[in-house]
């Protein structure tokens, strides 16, 4: 089982690359969905978030209010670091369990992709055979956030600026995919990298 860690900053097109890889036959694990599950109401991480950030970050239905929590942590690097110290280890443990289940299955996938915006910062590269980084120009990231997330320009800029630069991530990357052209161009780059994956 060959494990690709797929990362890139917000709105660079990681999900599009993940979808192409899935079409090629890879099993894709979305670390954001894993993060949702580890902060489910009543979980240890949920309790730690409530205790650390206060009851206002818990919505009426008992779930973590991601928008409210996001506004809090993206404006405060210390708060973001506090949140990540709660969530990252829980996500890492959940991913280890998920990968073990895939390996034990009747037909383990040849390629597994862990799509994670905080792959490097969260220490998840230790689970991977290769790190693929998706990059895009800042103006493209801004346009995508305004169009698809409904954020204000200020909110979008704050989210982009809260993340480590793509240049820092390049040092960890085995493959860099530039998502600054057409979908066909993106697909071509993904196919080129896919064809170089070692055959098990």
Domain count, the chain: 1
Is there a domain that residue 154 lies in?
yes
Give the phi and the psi of residue 141 in degrees, each rounded to 5: -60, -45
Identify which of 81, 77, 79, 61 has the alpha carbon closest to the alpha carbon of residue 69: 79
pLDDT bin (cut points 50, 70, 90) of residue 2 is very high
Give the CATH number for residue 31: 3.40.50.300
Q: Residue 73 — φ and ψ, nearest 5°?
A: -80, -30
Does residue 199 belong to any structural domain of this protein? no
Average pLDDT (104-120) is 96
Q: What is the DSSP letter of 165?
A: P
Residue pLDDT, tens place only, 33-80: 999 999 999 999 999 999 999 999 999 999 999 999 998 998 898 999
Distance separating alpha carbons of residues 33 and 87, to the nearest angstrom = 12
Domain assignment of residue 108, yes or no: yes
Is residue 74 in some structural domain? yes
Give domain status of residue 24, yes or no: yes
- What is the CA 68 to chain-centroid distance, rounded? 19
Instruction: Read off the pLDDT band of 158 (50, 70, 90).
Output: confident
Residue 80 lies in a domain: yes
* Residue 56 domain-assigned (yes or no): yes
Q: What domain range includes position 86? A: 2-194
Predicted structure pTM score: 0.90
Domain for residue 200, yes or no?
no
């Amino acid at each position: 089982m060959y494990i690709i860690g797929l990362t890139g900053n917000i709105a660079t097109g990681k999900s599009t690359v993940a979808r192409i890889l899935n079409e090629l036959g890879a099993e894709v694990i979305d670390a954001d969905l894993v993060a949702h599950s580890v902060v489910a109401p009543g979980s240890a991480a949920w309790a730690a978030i409530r205790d650390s950030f206060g009851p206002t970050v818990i919505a009426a239905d008992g779930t973590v209010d991601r928008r409210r929590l996001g506004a809090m942590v993206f404006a405060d690097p210390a708060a973001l670091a506090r949140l990540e110290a709660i969530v990252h280890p829980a996500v890492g443990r959940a991913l280890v369990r998920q990968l073990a289940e895939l390996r034990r299955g009747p037909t383990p996938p040849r390629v597994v992709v862990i799509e994670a915006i905080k792959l490097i910062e969260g220490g998840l590269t230790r689970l991977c055979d290769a790190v693929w980084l998706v990059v895009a120009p800042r103006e493209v990231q801004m346009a995508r956030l305004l169009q698809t997330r409904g954020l204000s320009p200020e909110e979008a800029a704050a989210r982009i600026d809260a993340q480590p630069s793509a240049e820092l991530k390049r040092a960890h990357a085995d493959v860099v995919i530039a998502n600054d052209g057409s979908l066909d161009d993106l697909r071509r780059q993904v196919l080129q990298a896919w064809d170089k994956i070692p055959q098990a």
